[in-house]
Amino acid sequence: MTRRKRILVTGSAGRVGQGAVQGLVQAGHEVHGLDVRPTPGLPAAQVIFGDLADGEKLRTYFQGMDAVVHLAATPDDMVFPRQPPPHDTDNFLSQLLPNNIVGLYHVLEAARQTKLPRLILASTGQVVWQHVENGPWPLDQQTPFSPRYWYACTKVFLEMAAMAYSREHALTILVVRLGWCPRDQGQAQEIAQQERFQDVYLSPGDAGRFFARAVEAESLPLYSLLYCTSRPTHLIRYDLIPAKELIGYVPKDQWPTGALVDSSALSNPA
């Protein structure tokens, strides 16, 4: 039986954050949530209204935690591909830079200064986008970067900064390239329409199981990089074997289980 751990989930009000909170609570851990929005599913005393921008406060929140699951971020580009004017704009300066780059800096610094035992960071398959589309599959840790756009570039930065911090400061950091956990009905429709998206679908339930295993696994190398999806429907696009070997993660769900959408409304022309 695994020891009950104290875990902080950043971005706990979000789509993946809610799955992580639920999975960790179900696994018996003491879960605290940090978000700029209210987090459901936790006792009020374990909910922190906080912004990644406040590095000093982050340090106090990290104190005494066994692990931090860092999910708070801007989770995509605003517009991709760029549109002609007047929509020729992006969210790099307004959102990605403060939340995904400066916010990550504060998270890594808080982890270093508090000697956090374990940090888990969310990356994305969008960092290897050309290969998600064209193979060769399954993609693994050796697949070269081919970021989709600005959002993916922030996650390349995250992976490289995590590697540097783990080495320089002997911090244990696990980076996970998450599959697609749709945030709304429109995204669920997109997944329904393309087999390649169904293969990299990630249910909130499997996300929760992954994070529970990630905090419970006995020993981890200083830096590790894993992929996490639910069970592929057609083709294994991400190599899930290292996640099984390192932390014992085995997905249970398959598209569209847990998509939290009205499946009768999903059209699948395939």
Ligand X SMILES: NC(=O)c1ccc[n+]([C@@H]2O[C@H](COP(=O)([O-])OP(=O)(O)OC[C@H]3O[C@@H](n4cnc5c(N)ncnc54)[C@H](O)[C@@H]3O)[C@@H](O)[C@H]2O)c1
- By CB under 6 A, tell whether 22 contacts ligand X: no
236 phi/psi in degrees, rounded to 5: -80, 105
- By CB under 6 A, tell whether 57 contacts ligand X: no
- By CB under 6 A, tell whether 73 contacts ligand X: yes
End-to-end CA distance of the chain: 44
E runs forming strands in the chain: 6-10, 30-35, 47-49, 67-70, 119-124, 173-178, 223-228
* 234: its two tokens: 């057609």
* CB of 201 vs ligand X, minimal distance in Å: 9
Among 21, 35, 67, 253, binds ligand X (CB under 6 A): 35
Q: Which is nearer to ligand X, 62 or 180 (CB)?
A: 180
- By CB under 6 A, tell whether 51 contacts ligand X: yes
Q: How far is CA 28 from CA 5, 20, 212, in A?
A: 8, 12, 9
Return the range that interacts with ligand X (CB under 6 A); candidates 47-55, 127-135, 230-238, 245-253.
47-55
* CB of 223 vs ligand X, minimal distance in Å: 18
- By CB under 6 A, tell whether 14 contacts ligand X: yes
- By CB under 6 A, tell whether 224 contacts ligand X: no
Amino acid present at 47: V
Helix 150-169 to helix 103-114 angle (10° resolution) is: 20
Instruction: Determine which helix (DSSP H) or strand (DSSP E) holds 6, and give its type and residue range.
Output: strand 6-10
Residues 84-103 that bind ligand X (CB under 6 A): 99, 103
Q: Please work out the total of residues on this chain that contact ligand X, with binding judged by CB under 6 A.
A: 24
Return the range that interacts with ligand X (CB under 6 A); candidates 175-183, 215-223, 230-238, 255-263.
175-183
Among 2, 4, 26, 36, binds ligand X (CB under 6 A): 36
Largest CA distance in the chain: 58
- By CB under 6 A, tell whether 215 contacts ligand X: no
Contact 97, 105 (CB under 8 A): no
- By CB under 6 A, tell whether 111 contacts ligand X: no
Contact 227, 246 (CB under 8 A): no
Instruction: Determine which helix (DSSP H) or strand (DSSP E) holds 18, and give its type and residue range.
Output: helix 15-26
Residues binding ligand X (CB under 6 A): 11, 13-17, 35-37, 51-53, 71-73, 75, 99, 103, 122, 124, 178, 180-181, 183
